[in-house]
Structure 1
Amino acid sequence: MDSQKSAQDVLRCNLCETPVPPLFCDLCHINLCRSCAGDHLLDESKEHKVGEFWHREIDTIMKNLQSEIDDVEFDQLSAFDKEEEKLTTKLNEISQVIEYIMHLSLDWKNSANCPHSLSSRYQVFFPGRINRDHLQEEFGSLSKPSMTKEERVYTMDQPSNKSFLEDPKVINSINTDYYQLYAVTCLTDEEIWTSGSDDIIKLYDSFKGILQKSVQTFSGNIPSDIAVTESGDLLYTDYNDRSVNIAKEDKIQQLVRLEEWRPQSVCHSSSGDMLVIMTSDDIKETKLVRFSGSKEKQTIQWDDRRQPIFSSGDQMYICENRNLDICVVDCGAHVVLAVNAEGKLRFRYTGHLSSTKGWFCPAGITTDSLGKILTSDSDNDCIHILDEDGTFLRYIDSCDLQGPQGLCMDSKDHVFVADSKSGTVKKIQYYK
């Protein structure tokens, strides 16, 4: 029978046409019976590689499989799932082919004793069901590519929906003995640090208004701003001394000493870093610096067009929002602005047009659990509430504020306001 014209003929030795040859030369690409294999290997004019015929198909399949796996490129993490799906589909197909070849190999081996059995019928493949749960056991699995850029991921509890009170109300007042009160920051829901017109930083019970503790600045200068670390230590900036300091276990330690720059406002970020906004000695430049300990980690100063983001003023206050935006009060420019964690400008807010309010004069800033931004307006004796994109939402102007400046928030979204003219800290409820 002509093997080139018959679709039902069995495989034959290429040298003697013996049916079902058990061997194959990978280099010459011919089928060999065992008798002809010896003569073929004696031909020293070329190299030979003779092996079991049924291994040939499996080796070819596995080489192709490895080639396909090697060709998969995971340039972007977002493309991984698509590539994995393609590869899983290919593994299914290959699994079926291998199963078929394994059946053929048994038939080839059996036909060595009964060479006419294969020529007596035409083989048909009936594919079985592939259990996807066992693919990894059979073929292994690919790990997801690692990211080359270090990224920090923050998770935030989703707060419940809250609605504004029609009329925000003062639920507590704490009288301090400052001639003028500038800053307030929460240590806990029960304790607040305050600073004002002298070199003493004071800790008050936020319910009873009782003085708990006092810390004097190391230099004797009035602190520019105060903040609290995640571990509960007090941070303060000393504009005249060019330093950022920490009060820890009744001892004051200098964390950062600047040259040619003076620190203004400080806050502790959710990542554990310290954010400091500072002004050059000649008050011509302002920049925001992220510190890891005492080491500079990031500087934010210019926009994409190499224009300054901040004005050349000497009154700046900062806080970090829950979306990791850094919100800044630029008093000299009468603006509130926000940059994202990479330092890209997000928005500028220059006040809300109102027939009852005068020139916008921001003097303090904080954010709540829903990402709302609160900024005090010392000239108009009110607080502006913005959404996280800088859109005006409403005023808090019904609480008899007198020159409000520093702001901070407790865990229940009560805002503490440093009333500079009265020397009083007011605790205000503005959500229902």
Structure 2
Amino acid sequence: MDPRTSAQDVMRCDLCETAVVQMHCDTCLVNLCTACVGEHMISDESKDHKVVKFQARKSTPLYPSCILHYNQCILYCKQCELSVCSECLTSDQHLGHKFSDILNVVNEKKDKIIKEQSELRETIYPTYQDIASDVQNRMSQLEKEYGDLSTAITKHGEDWHREIDKLVQKLKAEVDEMKNTQLQTLQKQLDEINKTMSGIKDEINTSCTVVESNEVSKLFNLKSVNIERYKNLPEKILPSLPKFTQGRIQGGDISNLFGILSSSSLTSDKHGYSMKTTQKSPEAGSSPPVKQLLDEPETASTTDTGYGQLYNVACVSDEEIWASGNGSTMKLYSINQGSPLKSIRTKSRYEPSDIAVTKSGDLVYTDYRDRTVNIVKNEKIEEVIRLQNWKPRGVCSTSSGDLLVIMISDDNKQTKVVCYSGSTEKQTIQFDDQDKPLYSFNSDYITENRNLDICVSDFGAKVVVVVNQAGKLRFRYTGHTPTPKNLPFYPRGITTNSQSHILTADRNDDCVHIIDQDGQFLRYINCGLNNPIGLCTDTNDNLFVAENHEGKVKKIKLLQ
């Protein structure tokens, strides 16, 4: 085995190639044994050989050579950002300049590079790993959702085929029935005509026999034929065939009848990803820590908003909330201080229907009378969406930064949920698999669960409707018995927490219902609530309840 190439062997001297390495020349970058050090020192006397122990190799700095004086540069000019030698100090080029020991500059640069390497290795690279994983997950989810969409279209086509087959059979049966009715009428007339023809033939035969006979008595006994009776001919029956009027397909296109596929879109959010940190936030990781419901929920604070009728509450942070009620003013409150920090009036001066807070902390509100959805940035109101023939009600901001808006048609007969990216419509949710409406006219509040389900409280139908991200109905929650006051379920405000619990305010029973992500009832929350309506939760899973008649917001701790 060649000792120079064997990975199992120890390192050998570069000169003799047999002895074990013990020394190293930092000038020539040559590995040496002790016996070969002297030979190496005199091999090139023009160099200043720096021989050190092998373990201390590359510890001797190799100073750069001055391009003007060919000396070693041991200083660094800060103004020129250039390494210089001792002769450069006396030149006019560096007159009045400040100099540093070049090793100090080198060490500073090394420290900076090491910090950058550390940040790249420990923060930036893992962040990109997470982003790559997120993109891959989105691609997988996209594959699944597009598959579901294709399956839904195929199923709809099969439903159409079945319905068309039924309709064809029905129409053909009606054609057969009409044909048989008309044929029976004509057959009856034909039978009568044949009977008459048979009578005529009998008359002819009888008269011929008498005429040909030579018996005079027969001729006198023959009665005359009632010719006039046979001259009264039957009516001519003219069957009228039914007409098949084909349904008009304009331009040969049935897509409007069958269903229309909206356009897809790709949007980007420059704030969509954040740099990975060493400290984990409550939202870090795919699964939040499991928290248990407290045996006895605690009212942590009460904030008096001053509204005569309070409708909505939305969390900005653990310390601040927005509230809105009767009147056009929306107010930001400090939980600890219990006082308003600022107030914003709606652009139209109409009362807002609902409010929400985006991921970036901006206030969003819907204006039912003005038909608009608006966002407040730096205390300036921007119109995001303006509707035609529809009026907006509930609104929420999703985990992806989109907006979900409940809207009602002008004739108050249709309700739908529309997902917007900015002002672009991405998705409409209105009907279930049987093409029946999912929501009634009185659907006011909406939220997105952590599992991306879309939850709507429909007090008109006395139900909470939950669909998945694709808009397919998952379940309907109609309340739980017995209720605190034995009154009908009357859901209003709705929110969710980190455990994917769905919480909805019940105004009739002065309580909040908590159900899990699959619609199973968990418990009621009372805490002396009076007419609860608007709900929201903060990042610590505290529940904020807006009391309608009291004009107060209660902060309730639910989870331990």
What is the TM-score normalised by the length of structure 2? Answer: 0.49
CA distance in 1, matches of 2:398, 2:445: 14
Summarize the Cα distance change of 1:156–1:333 in structure 2 as closer, same or farther, 3 Å threshold: farther
CA distance in 2, matches of 1:271, 1:152: 18
Offset at residue 352 of structure 1 (A): 0.3
CA distance in 2, matches of 1:402, 1:427: 14
Residue pair 2:477, 2:519 contacting (<8 A) in 1 also? yes
Matched, 1:314 2:442: yes
One-letter code aligned to 1:420: N
One-letter code aligned to 2:494: I
One-letter code aligned to 2:502: I
1:89-100 maps to which residues of 2 (within 5 A)? Answer: none
* Aligned partner (choices 337, 354, 358) of residue 482 of structure 2: 354
Equivalent in the alignment of 2:453: 325
For the residue of structure 2 that corresponds to 1:278, the secondary structure is strand
Matched, 1:231 2:364: no
Q: Residues 181-234 of structure 1, C-alpha deviation per residue, up to 9 Å, x if partnerless?
A: 100000111110000011000000012212101000000111000001111111
Task: Give structure 1 stretches of 5+ with no counterpart.
Answer: 1-143
* Aligned partner (choices 546, 550, 560) of residue 418 of structure 1: 546
Residue pair 1:274, 1:290 contacting (<8 A) in 2 also? yes
1:154-165 maps to which residues of 2 (within 5 A)? Answer: 157-165=286-294
CA distance in 1, matches of 2:363, 2:419: 18
* Aligned partner (choices 511, 528, 534) of residue 406 of structure 1: 534
Among all aligned residue pairs of Structure 1 and Structure 2, give the percentage whose two residues are the same amino acid: 53
Offset at residue 314 of structure 1 (A): 3.4
CA distance in 2, matches of 1:148, 1:429: 37
Summarize the Cα distance change of 1:297–1:354 in structure 2 as closer, same or farther, 3 Å threshold: same
For the residue of structure 2 that corresponds to 1:354, the secondary structure is coil
Matched, 1:252 2:381: yes
Name the larger-Rg structure: 2
Residue pair 2:494, 2:503 contacting (<8 A) in 1 also? yes
1:218-297 maps to which residues of 2 (within 5 A)? Answer: 218-297=347-426
* Aligned partner (choices 274, 277, 297) of residue 168 of structure 1: 297
One-letter code aligned to 1:353: T
Summarize the Cα distance change of 1:185–1:149 in structure 2 as closer, same or farther, 3 Å threshold: closer
Equivalent in the alignment of 1:429: 557
For the residue of structure 2 that corresponds to 1:177, the secondary structure is coil
Offset at residue 316 of structure 1 (A): 1.8
Residue pair 1:264, 1:314 contacting (<8 A) in 2 also? no
Summarize the Cα distance change of 1:147–1:410 in structure 2 as closer, same or farther, 3 Å threshold: closer
Offset at residue 304 of structure 1 (A): 1.4
Q: Residues 361-402 of structure 1, C-alpha deviation per residue, up to 9 Å, x if partnerless?
A: 0110000000001000011100000000111110001x1111
CA distance in 2, matches of 1:431, 1:247: 32
Q: Residues 136-161 of structure 1, C-alpha deviation per residue, up to 9 Å, x if partnerless?
A: xxxxxxxx9x9698469998542222
One-letter code aligned to 1:314: N
Summarize the Cα distance change of 1:300–1:156 in structure 2 as closer, same or farther, 3 Å threshold: farther
Residue pair 2:442, 2:461 contacting (<8 A) in 1 also? no
Q: Which has the higher contact order (CA 8 A, sep 6+)?
A: 1
Residue pair 2:494, 2:536 contacting (<8 A) in 1 also? yes
Q: Residues 41-89 of structure 1, C-alpha deviation per residue, up to 9 Å, x if partnerless?
A: xxxxxxxxxxxxxxxxxxxxxxxxxxxxxxxxxxxxxxxxxxxxxxxxx
Equivalent in the alignment of 1:203: 332
1:11-410 maps to which residues of 2 (within 5 A)? Answer: 150=142, 157-311=286-440, 313-354=441-482, 356=484, 357-397=486-526, 399-410=527-538
Summarize the Cα distance change of 1:363–1:299 in structure 2 as closer, same or farther, 3 Å threshold: same
Offset at residue 166 of structure 1 (A): 1.5
One-letter code aligned to 1:219: S
CA distance in 1, matches of 2:143, 2:449: 18
For the residue of structure 2 that corresponds to 1:416, the secondary structure is strand
CA distance in 1, matches of 2:446, 2:144: 21
For the residue of structure 2 that corresponds to 1:329, the secondary structure is strand
Residue pair 1:283, 1:314 contacting (<8 A) in 2 also? no
Residue pair 2:406, 2:443 contacting (<8 A) in 1 also? no
CA distance in 2, matches of 1:377, 1:342: 28
Summarize the Cα distance change of 1:274–1:156 in structure 2 as closer, same or farther, 3 Å threshold: farther
Query: How many pairs does the alignment contain?
Result: 286
Offset at residue 306 of structure 1 (A): 1.1
CA distance in 2, matches of 1:286, 1:346: 18
Q: Residues 284-307 of structure 1, C-alpha deviation per residue, up to 9 Å, x if partnerless?
A: 000000001101010011111111
CA distance in 2, matches of 1:203, 1:210: 9
**Aligned residues: CA RMSD:** 2.1
CA distance in 1, matches of 2:457, 2:144: 26
One-letter code aligned to 1:408: C
CA distance in 2, matches of 1:180, 1:204: 17
For the residue of structure 2 that corresponds to 1:162, the secondary structure is coil
Summarize the Cα distance change of 1:169–1:241 in structure 2 as closer, same or farther, 3 Å threshold: same
CA distance in 2, matches of 1:167, 1:380: 18
One-letter code aligned to 1:194: A
CA distance in 1, matches of 2:546, 2:139: 45
Q: Residues 254-302 of structure 1, C-alpha deviation per residue, up to 9 Å, x if partnerless?
A: 1101011000001111111111010101110000000011010100111
CA distance in 1, matches of 2:140, 2:504: 39
Task: Give structure 2 stretches of 5+ with no counterpart.
Answer: 1-135, 146-271, 273-283
Q: Which is further off, 362-371 or 161-170?
A: 161-170
For the residue of structure 1 that corresponds to 2:392, the secondary structure is strand
Q: Residues 75-114 of structure 1, C-alpha deviation per residue, up to 9 Å, x if partnerless?
A: xxxxxxxxxxxxxxxxxxxxxxxxxxxxxxxxxxxxxxxx
Offset at residue 315 of structure 1 (A): 3.7
One-letter code aligned to 1:161: V
Runs of 4+ more than 2 Å apart? 146-157
One-letter code aligned to 1:340: N
Residue pair 1:334, 1:361 contacting (<8 A) in 2 also? yes
CA distance in 1, matches of 2:407, 2:502: 22
For the residue of structure 1 that corresponds to 2:509, the secondary structure is coil
CA distance in 1, matches of 2:289, 2:357: 26
Residue pair 2:328, 2:349 contacting (<8 A) in 1 also? yes
What is the TM-score normalised by the length of structure 1? Answer: 0.64
Summarize the Cα distance change of 1:189–1:370 in structure 2 as closer, same or farther, 3 Å threshold: same
Summarize the Cα distance change of 1:209–1:278 in structure 2 as closer, same or farther, 3 Å threshold: same
